[in-house]
Amino acid sequence: MLPFDTIEEAATLLGRNLTVAETMWFKYSAKKSDYYLYCHNILFLFLIFSVVPLPLVFVEMMRSLGFDKYKIQPKVSLSLPEMFKCYKDVMRMFVLVVGPLQLVSYPSIKIIGIRTGLPLPSLWEIAAQLTVYFMIEDYTNYWIHRFLHGKWGYEKIHRVHHEYTAPIGFAAPYAHWLEVLILGIPSFLGPAIVPGHMITFWLWIALRQIEAIETHSGYAY
């Protein structure tokens, strides 16, 4: 919740007029708690998991259009019911693990210093922080992934993710519940090391999931 009652108060404390983006942010967030804003991630993740893979489903169903030349496993295809089952399993994990994790992890966001107030970060600041987040996540995810492909990690945890031997977008978050928790660490480390604004955090979580869906698309562009 912003510590201003009016836009004029905000402008006075900032020593300048608010930008268009800051005015929009003020009107939207001024009376909303930081916890409520953080929980927007639940809606964003649901929409991303549900909508972003849909073009890949269309491509898989319309293979006669010539997309096979881009498919990593051109002789392997999943039916629409199989893909829908994967989506239902992912949504079950979302309801039982991902959503509740978002609800209870808010204190960690406050501890590391994710802010919701004004001024908003510049585009340069957002881009720089996102670059750092992607680098940190890519490095730490690599080593965790190597551990999960070890004998113990694979047999106890990671084998669930590989139940779909032909990758599809919906299978990106399809995993053992413990893997979902473990792989949340690399995504959290960047914002923990270089904390920014809630808008940057939202954007980071969204882009990270979109990247995972693209990686699991089964196509090489």
pLDDT digits (tens, 9 = 90+) for 130-168: 999 999 999 999 999 999 999 999 999 999 999 988 778
Amino acid at 121: P
Question: What pLDDT score does 64 carry?
Answer: 61
| Residue 23 shares a structural domain with residue 49 | no
Total residue count of the chain as it appears in this document = 221
| Residue 15 shares a structural domain with residue 65 | no
Question: What pLDDT score does 5 carry?
Answer: 78
Question: What pLDDT score does 186 carry?
Answer: 93
Q: Is 220 a domain residue?
A: no
| Residue 146 shares a structural domain with residue 45 | yes
Expressed in angstroms, the distance from the first to the final Cα of the chain is: 43
Residue-number span of the structural domain to which 150 is assigned: 33-215
Q: Is 22 a domain residue?
A: yes
| Residue 196 shares a structural domain with residue 159 | yes
Task: Write down the H helix ranges in the chain.
Answer: 7-14, 20-29, 34-38, 40-51, 54-61, 80-93, 99-104, 106-112, 123-148, 151-156, 177-182, 184-193, 198-215
| Residue 98 shares a structural domain with residue 56 | yes
Question: What pLDDT score does 9 carry?
Answer: 86
Grouping H, G, I as helix, E, B as strand and the rest as coil, residue 122 is coil
| Residue 93 shares a structural domain with residue 164 | yes
Number of domains in the chain: 2
Q: Give the Å distances, CA to CA, from 44 to 94, 99, 146, 168.
A: 12, 11, 29, 20
Grouping H, G, I as helix, E, B as strand and the rest as coil, residue 108 is helix
| Residue 134 shares a structural domain with residue 26 | no
| Residue 95 shares a structural domain with residue 3 | no
| Residue 62 shares a structural domain with residue 150 | yes
* Separation between Cα atoms, residue 202 and residue 132, nearest integer Å: 15
Q: Is 61 a domain residue?
A: yes
Q: Which residues of the chain have pLDDT under 50?
A: none
Q: Is 221 a domain residue?
A: no
| Residue 51 shares a structural domain with residue 4 | no
